[in-house]
Structure formats: C-alpha cells, structure tokens
Amino acid sequence: MNKDQVQGTAKQVAGKVQQKTGELIDSKEQQIKGAAKQIDGSLQKGVGDVKETLKDRH
C-alpha cells in the first residue's frame, strides 16, 4: 500500500462518519460534506491503486 491508498481510505472512513453524524443530528450540510469527503477519498485511493499497479509492473 502507498500513501495515497492509506490516506484515501482514511478520508472515506472519516466521510462516512461525518455523513452518519449529519444524519443523527439532522444536518444536511454535514451529510453533504461527509459524502464529498468519501468521494474525495475514493478518488485518492484510486490514484494510489493506479500508482501501485504501475509500480508492480516495473
């Protein structure tokens, strides 16, 4: 695993927690921010996955 994979996964988890917290406190803003953080994390993890694949090929 590389840095992007780890950080991306961490952002996904943090975003999920933020989204669920928003649901519990009935805050649409927190739900949206959490969903956005999950997407950001997913993209970063995807970049890390590509880097890892390219590294493995060499």
pLDDT digits (tens, 9 = 90+) for 41-55: 999 999 999 999 999
CB-hemisphere CA count at 13 Å for 1? 10
Residue-level pLDDT at 58: 77
Give me the DSSP letters along 1-58: --HHHHHHHHHHHHHHHHHHHHHHTT-HHHHHHHHHHHHHHHHHHHHHHHHHHHHHH-
> Contact at 8 Å (CB) between 54 and 37?
no
Residue-level pLDDT at 37: 98
pLDDT tens digit sequence for 3-39: 999 999 999 999 999 999 999 999 999 999 999 999 9
- Tell if the pTM clears 0.75, that is, is over it: yes
